[in-house]
Amino acid sequence: MKKNKQRKRFNLLITICIFAFLILMFLTILLFSYRFIAQQHIQQKSNALIDNGGISELKELNVNGDKQFLLIEGKNKNKPFCLFLHGGPGSPFPYGVSARTLYPEITDHCVAVYYDQRGSGKSFNKDLSISTMNLSQFTDDANVIVDYIRETYHQEKIFVIGQSFGTVIGTQLVANYPKKIYAYMGIAQLTNSSKGQELGYNWLQGEAIANDDKKTLQVLESLGKGPYFADEEDQFSDLINQYKGMNYYDDTIKKVNVIDLIKGAFTSPDYSLQDLYKAFISGPQFSLIKSTELKKEIIETNFFESIKRIDVPVYFIQGKYDKQTNYELAQQYYELVDAPNGKQFITLEHSAHYPNALDAAIIPNAIKTMVEAHY
């Protein structure tokens, strides 16, 4: 009797496992079928762009001894070129190589150059030396890309658009090589990370007291005033995110679905399954966890001291609630920086670090304004 019960339980367990396996297989087939169909649809739109006089092509380059990738896309190949420097480091979203056909509103106004930076996405490789993971190298890489665009596509100058970490590279790039650049746009402009942490600490402390959040107050007390590096910086950023300083929402503003920022990678015809692993696992681990000196350099960046003049037109686009690349600091730097060719500060009224859907039209409209004003 006891053996029969055990056998029945065992058979039931086997049946459940087989059923679960079949469901998993079905979902996997469904998911990859969706990926295949989406890739075909994207490729068709890409081909249509080319047939109508546009450009949509993947490029592999040797950049300072490292294999790196660009996606070049525009509805009119005679439009000016805009180089996008994505955030991260190590996470090539949203303006990386996986962006094929994702932003038609941008490619109305310029030829977009989406670039997977050193150690990110399709450009990641396991042989990359960690000694090359420094801001000077990233800036040199971007300069090589600028020269490649200018020479290959016969452009006198280009536009540069940085986002979050990309603004660190972008600001250094335009400060060093202004004669190659028409204008610069910083989205979620980083200015002085350690000062931003200090302001963030005071803000978090006030929010925690107002919400009687003893747990957050204890964490802040254990962290101290900063600056924060390595694990402490991750812990601090988690608190910023917890209190909506990265992804703002309230009763009238819907939270940004971060999946929308990265889902293009899964359907990209330019990303293999190995590239997906690089984009979500290998790249971030290498760039954010192992590259401790790079992370330290970013936190020690202080453009208030190092770059007080930019000899190209400057545009800053900043989320009103952004505490990661602090909104108030971005305003202060904007006021400080000497930009003799003009500057403009644009506020995303419904956003923190991640642009909210309610502000979605502002960025492409600002790109249009910048291109039309300076090309």
Tell me the per-residue pLDDT of 70-96, one tens digit each, with 9 for 90 and over.
999 999 999 999 999 999 999 999 999
Tell me the per-residue pLDDT of 180-231, one tens digit each, with 9 for 90 and over.
999 999 999 999 999 999 999 999 999 999 999 999 999 999 998 889 998 8
Tell me the per-residue pLDDT of 125-179, one tens digit each, with 9 for 90 and over.
999 999 999 999 999 999 999 999 999 999 999 999 999 999 999 999 999 999 9
Give Cα 115 to chain centroid, integer Å. 11
3-class DSSP assignment, residue 318: strand
| 227 Cβ neighbours under 8 A, 6+ residues apart | 193, 194, 197, 198, 299, 300
Question: CB–CB of 298/193 below 8 Å?
Answer: yes
Tell me the per-residue pLDDT of 90-116, one tens digit each, with 9 for 90 and over.
999 999 999 999 999 999 999 999 999
DSSP code per residue over 48-93: HHHHTT-EEEEEEEEETTEEEEEEEEES-TTSPEEEEE-SSSS--T
| 177 Cβ neighbours under 8 A, 6+ residues apart | 143, 146
Task: Measure the CA–CA gap between 255 and 135, rounded to whole angstroms.
Answer: 32
Q: Which two tokens stand for residue 286?
A: 């290498």
Task: Band the pLDDT of 1: cuts 50, 70, 90.
Answer: low
